[in-house]
């Protein structure tokens, strides 16, 4: 385990041993600036000499792996879980704004043509923007605690057409499924031979519906493989829960997002060397002999093929990006169900606390003081400690939750 060090001018220096950091703190020559990962700042002038540090990042749409290596030793490794609630929160905000026009308050005029953000060049969806910013945030954090000289980033691109149709080749790429049809509904009805796929009887109900196998509210898309033809009677029975459809459509959401993230990372003011998954897999399996994890992939990205004697670290920093706060509308019909979003007994959701029984993040609050506590992975502890007694808040809620775990 290493302690990260900053100079008096807040420039990152090489990490040191915990014993030396303890002596500096006891003698008053340094102070603590961060608990996880543990970082100290020197209070005296130093030469600020550093050694070259190589950092690697395994980009992704759900998780990010990051590592930093110097002198054949892993100094830092982390795994970041990205947000997946941005789209839902944007829709919720839109519904609040729309409801604002009909409540008994000052009238809010609808605005459609003056949304500059939706018209500017290079605009990306808020959900994708959040993922790109998460990559940038982790890069800035690593550079704030280590003197990184070189970045190596693994990027990936997927053939979405080949994922949905493995036999596609040649001119088939130009002839999609919808060629010759007016819209998706027309194609789906023709594909299913204008027949209900449940009862298989054309004459039972002449009115046909295109049903989403995975609902849009649960992340489903309008792709043809997520649509199925049902008659009006079977469609009603399905929504009433009398039967289910076991067909699973192909999910191309994350491969598509990874491609967009890759293109957006290239546009950032970030100089890095690009690598690819097959190179990372070879170094992780054949040279280092490590299991498949996001932080091990990042370590393999930094690894030199000519020097496999890499000293691994037994500490991983797991991180999770969350929203800056929870909000609840206080007026109108949507405020009937009250959600305690503020502090209760001096604590907020996602505060990291320490009790004699457990240590973790606040997940649920109760007026009795028996809070629900979880770890960084969202697993809830069986014991619900009473925060009124023997409770200490280690860190307040922020947009990046961090927990150090020994491996």
pLDDT in tens, 270-294: 999 999 999 999 999 999 999 999 9
Give the residue with greater pLDDT, 195 vs 117. 195
Give residue 51's pLDDT band: very low, low, confident or very high (50, 70, 90): very high
Q: Read off the pLDDT of each residue in 5-12 and give the average, rounded to a whole number.
A: 94
Nearest to residue 231, comparing CAs of 283, 195, 285, 267?
A: 195
Which percentage of the chain shows pLDDT scores above 90? Answer: 49
**Ramachandran category for residue 193: left, alpha or beta (phi over 0 → left; psi -120 to 50 → alpha):** left
Instruction: Using CA atoms of 378, 383, 388, 392 in order, give the dihedral in degrees to the nearest 10.
Output: -60
Of the two residues 129 and 92, the one the predictor is more confident about is: 129
Look up residue 388 and give its two tokens: 């009124």
Task: Report which of residues 64 and 102 the model is more confident about.
Answer: 64
Q: Is the pLDDT of residue 336 over 70?
A: no
Q: How many CB atoms lie within 10 A of CB 160?
A: 13
Q: Are 55 and 293 in contact (CB under 8 A)?
A: no
Reduce the DSSP state of residue 23 to 3 states and report it.
helix
Burial (CB count <10 Å: 0-12, 13-18, 19+), residue 153? buried
DSSP conformational letter for 285: I
Name the pLDDT band for 42 (thresholds 50, 70, 90): very high
86 vs 118, which has greater pLDDT? 86
Confidence of residue 143 (pLDDT cuts 50, 70, 90): very high
Peptide bond into 374 cis (omega under 30): no
Asked if residue 252 lies in contact with residue 160, where contact means CB atoms within 8 angstroms, the answer is yes
How many Å apart are CA 40 and CA 109, to the nearest integer? 52
Ranges of each domain in the chain: 4-42, 53-84+124-158+254-321, 170-251, 326-397
Structure tokens at 366: 């109760």
Strands 38-42 and 4-6: parallel
pLDDT the model gives residue 55: 96
pTM for the whole structure: 0.84
Pairing mode of beta strands 273-275, 148-154:
parallel
Cα–Cα distance measured from residue 315 to residue 407, given in angstroms and rounded to the nearest whole number? 6
Q: Where are the alpha helices (DSSP H) in 225-293?
A: 232-239, 253-267, 277-282
403 close to 375: Cβ distance less than 8 angstroms: yes
In this prediction, residue 141 carries a pLDDT of 96
Kindly tell me if the per-residue pLDDT of 101 is higher than 80: no
- The pLDDT tens digits for 351-366 are 999 999 899 999 988 8
Q: pLDDT tens for residues 196-217?
A: 888 886 555 578 889 998 888 7
Contacts of residue 95, defined as CB under 8 A and 6 or more positions apart, other chains included, come to: 334
Q: CA-CA distances (angstroms) from residue 187 to 166, 179, 213?
A: 20, 9, 16
pLDDT by residue (tens digit) across 147-202?
Answer: 999 999 999 888 877 877 788 888 878 887 788 888 999 999 998 888 888 888 65
Strand partners, 73: 70, 311
Strand 208-212 to 227-231 pairing:
antiparallel
Mean predicted confidence (pLDDT) in 131-158: 94
Report the percentage of the chain scoring pLDDT > 70.
91
Would you place residue 133 in the very low, low, confident or very high pLDDT band (cuts 50, 70, 90)?
very high
57's tokens: 């990042």
- Other C-beta atoms within 10 Å of 307: how many? 9
Instruction: Give the pLDDT band of residue 122 (cuts 50, 70, 90).
Output: confident
Alpha-carbon gap, residue 224 to 217, rounded angstroms: 17
Residue 353: count other Cβ atoms within 10 Å of its Cβ.
19
- Is residue 295 pLDDT above 60, yes or no? yes
Q: State which CATH number among 3.40.50.2000, 3.20.20.370, 3.40.50.2300, 3.30.420.40 fits the domain covering 53-84+124-158+254-321.
A: 3.30.420.40
Q: Which residues pair with 372 in a beta bridge?
A: 364
Residue 211 three-state SS = strand
Provide the mean pLDDT of the chain.
Answer: 87
């Amino acid at each position: 385990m290493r302690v990260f060090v900053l100079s008096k001018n807040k420039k990152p220096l090489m990490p040191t041993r915990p014993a030396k950091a303890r002596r500096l703190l006891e003698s008053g020559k340094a102070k603590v600036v961060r608990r996880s990962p543990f970082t100290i700042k020197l209070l005296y002038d130093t030469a600020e000499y550093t050694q070259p540090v190589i950092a690697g990042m395994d980009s992704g749409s759900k998780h990010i792996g990051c590592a930093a290596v110097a002198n054949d030793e892993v100094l830092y490794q982390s795994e970041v879980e990205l947000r997946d609630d941005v789209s839902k929160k944007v829709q919720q905000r839109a519904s609040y704004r729309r409801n604002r026009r009909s409540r008994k308050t000052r009238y809010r005029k609808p605005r459609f043509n003056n949304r500059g953000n939706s018209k500017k060049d290079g605009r990306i969806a808020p959900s994708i923007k959040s993922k790109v910013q998460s990559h940038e945030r982790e890069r800035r954090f690593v550079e704030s605690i280590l003197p990184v000289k070189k970045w190596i980033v693994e990027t990936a691109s997927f053939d979405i057409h080949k994922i949905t149709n493995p036999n596609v080749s040649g001119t088939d790429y130009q002839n999609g499924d919808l060629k010759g049809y007016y819209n998706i509904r027309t194609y789906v009805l023709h594909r299913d031979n204008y027949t209900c796929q449940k009862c298989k009887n054309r004459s039972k109900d002449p009115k046909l519906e295109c049903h989403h196998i995975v609902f849009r509210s649960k992340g489903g898309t309008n792709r043809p493989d997520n649509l199925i033809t049902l008659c009006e009677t079977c469609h009603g029975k399905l929504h009433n829960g009398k039967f289910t459809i076991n067909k699973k459509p192909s999910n191309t959401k994350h491969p598509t997002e990874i491609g967009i993230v890759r293109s957006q990372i290239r546009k950032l003011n970030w100089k890095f060397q690009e690598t690819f998954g097959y190179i990372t897999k070879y170094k992780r399996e054949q040279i280092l002999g490590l299991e498949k994890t996001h932080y091990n992939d990042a370590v393999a990205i930094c690894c030199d093929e000519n020097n496999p004697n890499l000293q691994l670290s037994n500490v991983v920093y797991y991180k999770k990006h969350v929203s800056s706060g929870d909000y609840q509308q206080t007026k109108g019909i949507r405020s009937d169900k009250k959600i305690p979003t503020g502090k209760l007994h001096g604590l907020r959701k996602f505060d990291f606390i320490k009790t004699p029984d457990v240590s973790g993040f606040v997940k649920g609050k109760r007026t009795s003081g028996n809070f629900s506590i979880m770890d960084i992975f969202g697993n809830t502890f069986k014991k619900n400690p009473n925060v009124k007694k023997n409770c200490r808040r280690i860190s307040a809620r922020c947009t990046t939750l961090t927990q150090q775990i020994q491996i």
